[in-house]
Amino acid sequence: MECLPVDAIPEGAEWTYEIKLDGYRAEAVKHAGKVALYSRRKHLLNNNFRDVVAELEYLPDETVVDGELVALGKDGKPSFNLLQNFRSMESHIVFYAFDVLVHKGKDVTALSLERRRKILASIIRPQNHVGISQVRTGRADILNFVRTHGLEGVVAKRTSNVYQAGKHGTLV
């Protein structure tokens, strides 16, 4: 799913919020004992992000995880410029998982986001180069955090939504 830009972030108990990370969208695919990391355009990224691939080897076979490759600067903030120069020693690359599409060979895209996030939390082990995108339920809190820290934006997701390819999420 890709985000649709909006002028105002939706509010209500059925919404969760994540920080919009400034990086490369990627899918981690574990098949036949091997992890492949693909870009949105299906380019294999394994050679460029070996540390991430190595830390995802524990994923169950026949699993697909959606996420964002992010370079964190010395200040801890995502930096797209550092990501473009990922071989630089100044950056620290992290794959932030935010959804699971296939789990142990079962397509889970018809499940609600809330259920997929539970599966994701059960399979992702945060490490040095792998993390889980943090979800918040307070709209005002996350907007304030993003503004205070000069981050890119907020992604709002309805917890009951199933996964649909195309532009369906909300970005402010």
Whether residue 106 lies in the annotated active site: no
Distance between CA atoms of 73 and 156, rounded to whole angstroms? 25
Name the β-bridge partners of 44.
Answer: 38
pLDDT at 90: 55
- Domain containing 49 equals 2-171
- Name which of 51, 133, 41, 39 is nearest 86 in CA terms: 51
pLDDT at 65: 98
Q: How many domains does the chain have?
A: 1
Which among 20, 77, 106, 118 is annotated as catalytic?
Answer: 20
pLDDT at 3: 61
pLDDT at 116: 96
Q: pLDDT truncated to tens, each residue of the chain (172 aa)?
A: 456 666 777 788 888 888 888 899 999 999 999 999 999 999 999 999 999 999 999 999 999 999 999 998 888 888 888 888 877 655 689 999 999 999 999 999 999 999 999 999 999 999 999 999 988 777 888 888 888 888 888 888 888 889 877 644 444 4
The pTM for the full model equals 0.86
Name the β-bridge partners of 5.
Answer: 171
List the CATH number of the domain containing 70. 3.30.470.30
pLDDT at 39: 95
pLDDT at 5: 63
- Name which of 168, 5, 1 is nearest 100 in CA terms: 1
